[in-house]
Amino acid sequence: MKKVLIITYYWPPSGGGGVQRWLKFVKYLPIYGWHPIVVVPKDPEYPVIDNSLYSDIPQETKIIKLPIWEPYDIFKKITGRKKGEKVNTGLLFDDKKRTLVEKISLWIRGNILIPDPRIFWVKPSAKRLIEIIPGLKPDIIVTTGPPHSIHLIGQKIKTKFPEIPWLIDLRDPWANFDMLDQFYLSGMAKKLQKNKEYTALKKADIVTTVSPSWAQEFGKSVSKKVHCITNGFDEDDFKNFNFESDNKNFTVSHIGIINSYRNPEPLWSSFQELCEELPDFRKRLNIRITGITDAGLGKILDKYPLVKEKTTITGYIPHENIIEQYQDSSCLLLLLNNTKNSNGHIPGKFFEYIASGKPVLAIAPQESDVAKIIKEYDLGYACPFDEKETIKQEILSIFNNEIHRLESKVIDSFSRRKLTEKLSYLMSETIKKSRKT
């Protein structure tokens, strides 16, 4: 079997979307003749924990844990947060007024900790891996980010072992990531981010990302082909899934983070008006929000009392329980960030939405990759962020059962097993090309 050395920050017991992609690749790579060796941090600062994901790791997988120091204890101390409190960067940007200390902390994050706060893991991890790689004998090395500092580890290894092919996987944008706008970046900091991105992508033998738009964007920036391997769903998670539900309510479910970037007021206004206009809609409506939310959601729901009355908000739950929520949902809500990166953002949960066979209501630009997939496969509706009347009409269309279920052959094309086969082919071809040269 060929060996692939995968360096990643997110790994069980981390929960959330960031861990799923390479956890599932590792699960299925042995089927295609690969032995994964996974390098992860020891005792990192994960925002959410999900121990149920350990079951996806094949027993033969070799895990190497390397010590990491992260500056979050200092951040929590100076901002008055509790020592055991989890820091979720997706919620640092809610609509509350920031204190001077918080502004300074965010400035340091954006202008000093480049590319990100995990930069302190780079030097010691690269040094240790360079020592043990001759004994591990990997056929190819993979780095996946964010955090994009992980790619700097790969870059150091590539410099020492130029004969070993290196694959960079980008789950999110790097220098053009929308969240960076919240860190008060100077012109110099923006230039440093772009330079680090350019140098790493140029040096890599192969680059992958998660959407066609981002593949095109990255490819233009470095004048090389960037391959798109989307996220997907794991068929094993749906093997006992019952597509028919006994739930007689109109249950609209959202899974994941809701923050100031993805909290469209026209959506909540549409639900409010439909409740006012249609007694049966109001009677049957049940909005279920599962995941991490910021203070802004509560504030906006206060403006729409009928919607608030019909909404249940819970925190993060284990992934295995999320599958159960898909089962009794009538409609699955997908909110994209209302930012410059939204066209290429295809959340991992979107593919699980597809596998569930339930109608999808996305708040997304018409030119986005999500909207194109929804239209191509007739999955539901994608509505622009500010078009309330369109949103309202499409909610009503789903309420009136005007969406049919997908054919299984369409669903299978997004399975983790199929996507791992594509990854395996790319890695094998990269190794062949490397050995020829």
Tens of pLDDT, residues 307-340:
999 999 998 888 888 888 898 899 999 999 888 8
In the chain, list all ranges with CATH 3.40.50.2000: 2-232+415-436, 235-412
Q: What pLDDT band is residue 87 in, cutting at 50, 70 and 90?
A: low
Question: With contact defined as beta carbons under 8 Å apart, do 94 and 259 qualify?
Answer: yes
pTM for the full predicted model: 0.91
pLDDT tens digits, 276-303: 999 999 999 999 999 888 888 888 999 9
User: Token digits for 37?
Assistant: 């060796």
Question: With contact defined as beta carbons under 8 Å apart, do 153 and 126 qualify?
Answer: yes
The CATH homologous superfamily for domain 235-412 is Glycogen Phosphorylase B; (3.40.50.2000)
pLDDT of residue 94: 52
The CATH homologous superfamily for domain 2-232+415-436 is Glycogen Phosphorylase B; (3.40.50.2000)
Sign of CA dihedral 295, 296, 300, 306: negative
pLDDT tens digits, 338-384: 888 899 999 999 999 999 888 999 999 999 999 999 998 888 999 99
- Backbone phi, psi, residue 176, to 5°: -105, 20
Position 189 pLDDT exceeds 60: yes
Question: Residue 194 and residue 108: Cα distance in Å, rounded?
Answer: 18
Q: What pLDDT band is residue 83 in, cutting at 50, 70 and 90?
A: low
pLDDT tens digits, 228-273: 999 999 999 988 887 777 778 999 999 988 888 888 999 999 999 9
pLDDT tens digits, 28-78: 999 999 999 999 999 998 988 999 999 999 999 999 999 999 887 787 677
pLDDT of residue 91: 45
